[in-house]
Each structure stands twice: as C-alpha cells, then as structure tokens.
C-alpha cells in the first residue's frame, strides 16, 4: 500500500513527543502512585526490554487493556502452533496481571512503550518484529509510523471505531488517512466499523466479526467457587459486573428496594477498576448497607448484603453464582462492557442505554430477548423484581443469550485465514 505523505499534524506530534520524552518520568511517577504502573517493569515503558528476543520470526500482537488481551488469547495459541514466537504487549497493569496467568506457552509479555520516537525506536530495535497485529483502534502515531518505516507489515485485527472516536478522527482526517495508509490490512468487527474506517481513508478492509465471541468463557477455581457457595448458602444473588463510578449508587439503591421483597438478597458488585473497591464500600455505607471487600479476604456471611469483588481474574466465579447480571459501563456514558462472557456462562442480562462500544452485540441480544435495557435505579429495581418473580423468564433469557452469542462466532478462523499470507511469508524466510 502506498504511504501517504506525512501531514504537518503528524510531524508536529512526532516533534512534540520527542521533546516531551524526558518529561515522561514525572507522568510515570504519578501513575505509579495511583497503582497504574508496575514499579519493577517501569523500564519497559521507556522501551527497555526486560526479556531477550527469541530466535527466528517474531509476531508482535498489541492490545490496550483487559478486553483486548482476552480476545486475542485464542489467536496467540494458534499462531504459536504455526511455530512462530509471539510477543504480546499491553498498556495496563491489570492486563499484564491477567496475561501473566493465562499466556500460552512460548508467548512473551511486555508493556507497550510510551509513544515517543526514542522509546519506540528502542523497543523496535530490540524486538525487530516480523509482523505486527494491532487490536481494535490502537492507532498510536509513532508506533505505526516507525513500525511501517522499519518494513514490518501492520494488520489491524478485531478492529472497531466507535461513533465518538470516529467523530474525533474526522476532525483530523488527513492525519487519520496518513496513519491508516501505513496499515496493510484492516480486519474489522462490523460493517459500520468498515464504513467509518473507509471514510477516514482506509483502503484494504474486511469485515470478519468479533474475536471476543470465540473466547472461552472464564473458568472458576473449584475450591473458591465451593467456598463462596457455602458462604452464600442458597441465598438469592444478583451481580453487577464491571461497574464504573456513578453506577454503584443505582445498583445499591435497587438492592435497597428489592431487599423488602427478597429476604436474604446479596448483591455482588465487581468494579471495573478493582482499586475503586473502597470507594464502592463508602457508597454502600452511605445507604446504610455495610459492605465487605473480597480483597481483604472476606467471604459473605449471613449479615452481608453488598459483597464487593475488588479482585482480578475471578469473573468466572461471580458469573456462575448469579443467574441475573447487570453489565456496567452502560448507565454512564462509557459505552458499555462486554456481555459475551455472562451470556456464554448462562446469565440473564440487564444493561443501561449507553452501549456504543458493543452496539451490535447488545442490539442482537435485546432483539432475541436475551437482554433488556434499564435506564436508572428505579427501572433496574423493577426489571430485577420481575426476573426474581419469574424464574421461567430468567431461564428463557439465559438460553436466548447463550444461543445468540454462539451463533455470532467464527471470527477467529476468519482472522487466521486473512493473516495466513503473512505467516506463509514468514515461514518462507
């Protein structure tokens, strides 16, 4: 693909990030204090590798955070079966922690360097990837320009572009076009994503579906699951998964209303960012409902009504405990969280109106009546009450949600077929 001339905006970006490079230490120190960086691996954020490069062809896969990392795990294993080494990079501590527990054998993990010319050069000089696979909408300018200049093919996998991101990029269309011209192939989730990328100047685009439909649902450690089941002792459980600030109030208010008609009700709240656990406990306290934190080693006892699961990598436990799940990030303007995992495990799903990150999935779940929309604490409480009063309806929603997400799979095979020519080239080398 022909490379577009680098516009002034990108030249200014490269210049400013080059100048700002020495100042990144202040930013990283601030993030360290907030628990958003790993102090033992801070060098990786400056492009300093903490591992040696393996011999032979290397495929580099980058995903920003937890959702992207989990989505590419099956793909990593399939690439490894082709005999290639794989480097996985991410940008968050939580994603790194999950990666450390679940990486397929032979896959290495590093933090992505901060997007400055110096740090990216240091990273690329060490790893020398032979193929780069970027996930969703990770369009870091220095990463893309320098990887392309090094002659490394770039492919966007599981690509998506929300309406909000599209609106931002439209204001910088020449910049977007110049970056997208460096990407050899875009494999996107939905026709709407393809349309948006095309309007920004992308050319080689294929719509192949969402890799997240092909991910095995999270497992539950048997002893931990048994301990929770014993402590809950057949009480009615509702789960609020991946909640964001501003949503816990609605969830706890709904619980407060439901406890009058559902004695022994327990609401498990899993904040999207575990470090918010104490803040969620404070909200519960304001409602007169003392909460306990799983990170403190507590199990719910007979007096527990709000159980805050502020841990990492245990979603499989909580989805298996609750037949009804409210998916967070959807009552506030975040765009919603991924409903595929609870649908696969078997949950009736409720969500708010703000689901632009997963429009197609939620639309289909709603159409097939595997999910339903709520708008505030009152409608959440009313919907939960209806489901608690009608177990048969819960079962129908669970079955419909499962059938819907299973029908929407297949993106993994289509992605592998699309990148096969690049893998063949690596094998010929």
pLDDT of residue 101: 79
Instruction: Quote the pTM value.
Output: 0.86
Query: Tens of pLDDT along 199-217?
Result: 999 999 999 999 999 999 9
The Cα–Cα gap between 131 and 155 comes to: 8
Q: Which helix (H) or strand (E) holds 62?
A: strand 58-62
Mean pLDDT of 235-259: 97
Side-chain-side CA neighbours of 91 within 13 Å: the count stands at: 13
CATH 3.40.50.11720 residue ranges in the chain?
31-209+410-428
Task: Give the residue numbers annotated as catalytic, written as ranges.
Answer: 68
Query: Tens of pLDDT along 373-416?
Result: 999 999 999 999 999 999 999 999 999 999 999 999 999 999 99
Count the residues in the chain: 429
CATH code of the region 31-209+410-428: 3.40.50.11720
pLDDT of residue 4: 55
pLDDT of residue 313: 87
Looking at residue 63, the DSSP 8-state letter turns out to be: -
CATH code of the region 222-407: 3.40.50.2000
**Can you tell me which residue has the tokens 């294993």?**
77
CATH 3.40.50.2000 residue ranges in the chain?
222-407
- The DSSP code sequence of 371-407 is EEE--SHHHHHHHHHHHHH-HHHHHHHHHHHHHHHHH
* Tokens matching residue 189: 């989730």
Q: Which of 398, 389, 393, 379 has its CA nearest to residue 251?
A: 379
Q: Which of 256, 260, 311, 309 has its CA nearest to residue 287?
A: 256
**Mean pLDDT across the chain, nearest whole number?**
94
Pair 269, 243: CB distance under 8 Å: yes
Percent of the chain past pLDDT 90, that is, above it, reads 87
Q: How far apart are the two ends of the chain, measured CA to CA in Å? A: 21
Asked if pLDDT for residue 342 goes beyond 80, the answer is yes
Residue 83 DSSP SS3: coil
Query: Tens of pLDDT along 158-167?
Result: 999 988 899 9
* Tokens matching residue 257: 């209303």
Q: Which helix (H) or strand (E) holds 343?
A: helix 340-345
* Tokens matching residue 353: 């109106």
Q: Which helix (H) or strand (E) holds 98?
A: helix 93-102
pLDDT of residue 66: 86
pLDDT of residue 1: 47
Higher pLDDT, 429 or 12: 12
**The 3-state secondary structure of 121-144, one letter per residue:** HHHHHHHCCCEEEEECCCCCHHHH
Query: Tens of pLDDT along 113-172?
Result: 999 999 999 999 999 999 999 999 889 999 999 999 999 999 999 999 988 899 999 999
Query: Tens of pLDDT along 35-44?
Result: 889 999 999 9
User: Could you give phi then psi for residue 73, rounded to 5 degrees?
Assistant: -55, -45
**Can you tell me which residue has the tokens 């230490």?**
25
């Amino acid at each position: 693909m022909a490379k577009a001339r680098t516009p002034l905006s990108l030249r200014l970006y490269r210049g400013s990030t080059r100048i700002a490079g020495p100042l990144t230490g202040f930013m990283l120190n601030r993030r360290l204090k907030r628990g958003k960086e790993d102090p033992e691996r801070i060098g990786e954020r400056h492009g300093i590798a903490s591992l040696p490069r393996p011999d032979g062809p290397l495929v580099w896969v980058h995903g920003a955070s937890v959702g992207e990392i989990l989505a590419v795990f099956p793909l990593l294993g399939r690439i490894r079966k082709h005999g290639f080494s794989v480097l996985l990079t991410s940008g968050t501590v939580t994603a790194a922690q999950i990666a450390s527990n679940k990486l397929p054998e032979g896959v290495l993990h590093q933090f992505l360097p901060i997007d400055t010319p110096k740090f990216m050069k240091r990273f690329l000089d060490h790893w020398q990837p032979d193929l780069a696979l970027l996930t969703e909408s990770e369009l870091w300018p220095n990463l893309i320009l320098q990887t392309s200049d090094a002659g490394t093919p770039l492919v966007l996998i599981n690509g998506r572009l929300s309406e909000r991101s599209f609106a931002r990029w439209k204001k910088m269309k020449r910049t977007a076009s110049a970056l997208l011209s460096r990407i050899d192939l875009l494999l996107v989730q939905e026709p709407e994503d393809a349309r948006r990328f095309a309007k920004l100047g992308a050319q080689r685009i294929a719509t192949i579906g969402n890799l997240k439909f092909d991910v095995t649902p999270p497992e539950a450690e048997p002893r931990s699951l048994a301990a929770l089941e014993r402590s809950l002792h057949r009480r009615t459980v509702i789960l609020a998964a991946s909640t964001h600030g501003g949503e816990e109030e609605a969830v706890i208010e709904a619980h407060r209303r439901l406890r009058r008609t559902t004695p022994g009700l327990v609401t498990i709240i899993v904040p999207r960012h575990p470090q918010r656990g104490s803040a969620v406990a404070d909200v519960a306290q304001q409602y007169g409902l003392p909460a306990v934190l799983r990170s403190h080693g507590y199990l719910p006892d007979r007096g527990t009504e709000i159980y805050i699961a502020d841990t990492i990598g245990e979603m499989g436990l909580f989805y298996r405990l609750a037949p009804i799940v409210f998916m967070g990030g959807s009552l506030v303007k975040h765009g919603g969280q991924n409903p595929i995992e609870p649908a696969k495990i078997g949950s009736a799903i409720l969500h708010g109106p703000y689901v632009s990150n997963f429009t197609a999935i939620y639309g289909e779940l709603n159409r097939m009546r595997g999910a339903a929309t709520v708008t505030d604490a009152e409608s959440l409480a009313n919907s939960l009450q209806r489901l608690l009063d009608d177990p048969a309806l819960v079962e129908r929603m669970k079955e419909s949600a499962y059938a819907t997400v299973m029908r929407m799979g297949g993106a993994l095979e289509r992605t592998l077929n699309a990148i096969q020519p690049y893998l063949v080239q690596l094998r010929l080398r």
